[in-house]
Amino acid sequence: MKFPTPHTLEQISKIIDCQFLGDANFQVLGMNEIHVVEAGDIVFVDHPKYYDKALESAATIVLINKEVACPEGKALLISDDPFRDFNKLTQHFKPFVPSISAISTSAKIGKNTIIQPNSFIGNNVVIGDNCTIHSNVSIYDDTVIGNHVTIHAGTVLGASAFYYKNRPEGFDQLKSSGRVVIKDHVDIGALCTIDKGVTADTTIGEGSKLDNQIQVGHDTVIGKKCLIASQVGIAGCVIIEDEVTIWGQVGITSGITIGKKAVISAQSGVSKSLEGGKSYFGTPADDFRSKYKEIASIRMIPEILEKLKIK
């Protein structure tokens, strides 16, 4: 997320009431998660395991819970609770604004687009030309939808990321300030849920088709011309490259990449990145050749045990 106007390091430190290391006038342009940070961004880190990754990232401002040596060309914000203060910044720069109508007056809706009764269109939503939004669709603030898009009944675009910190008093949610972006010629079935990014975009690529009852987690990027069947669950920060086919009830863990033109068979569990151009099935998912060899070997176990019996 980029701030509406650049801020100084000192200004940011006052918003969250913390100390800083670096030039008081050091320019701060926005805030992002580690996988999408750019120069001028704040990134937060609250565990020693990830200190080096954050300090060596593209982010030039690190919100951290320990005073460490400041890398050259960067600045530090020293906080006793970076997670809390990252939320404070989100609340400051991207506060929740309640809607006062079913279709916000700030929404921009293109030519020949049809919005069926009982749908909700939030603040600053952009919908292109020749789209059809069926009844009871909820499109949260800042969502961007291209041209020739169809969204079926009951689908929700832009709910918050499923991202929590476990505290002694309970789970604390990381506030989401990102968007959902739907490209041209996308079809989305009934009762799908596509969560917005924490600080960036969850994206569905041009020409992709989603069946009913599909969950897409925060910051996931789905490429062009993908086919995803019913009841697929995709966790956050997944990259699905172009022309991937995913059949029903597949579960995909967070932070992995599915290569171009991969095919994943129904009810598979994907726990690691998969190379493109191959077909996969099973839990954990593996390519057909390897999986069939594994199954054949397992089927031989009773025969081997029988031969090993002591008479």
Tell me the domain boundaries of the chain.
Answer: 2-93, 108-291
In sequence order, the 6+-apart residues with CB closer than 8 A to the CB of 163 are: 173, 174, 176, 198, 218, 236
Superfamily of domain 108-291: Hexapeptide repeat proteins (2.160.10.10)
Mean pLDDT in order along the chain per 10 residues (311 residues): 96 97 96 94 95 96 95 96 97 95 97 98 98 98 98 98 96 97 98 97 98 98 98 98 98 98 97 96 89 84 79 48
DSSP state of 274: B
* Whether the bond into 284 is cis, omega within 30 of 0: yes
Residues labelled as active-site residues: 218
> Residue 310: what pLDDT?
55
> Residue 173: what pLDDT?
97
**What is the Rg, in whole angstroms, of the alpha carbon atoms belonging to the chain?**
23
Q: How far apart are alpha carbons 164 and 103 in whole angstroms?
A: 31
In sequence order, the 6+-apart residues with CB closer than 8 A to the CB of 130 are: 110, 111, 112, 113, 147, 148
The H or E element containing residue 308 is helix 301-308
Reported pTM: 0.92
End-to-end distance of the chain based on CA atoms, in angstroms? 72
> Residue 290: what pLDDT?
85
Specify whether the CB–CB gap between 244 and 261 falls below 8 A: yes
Q: Which CATH architecture has domain 2-93?
A: 3-Layer(aba) Sandwich (3.40)
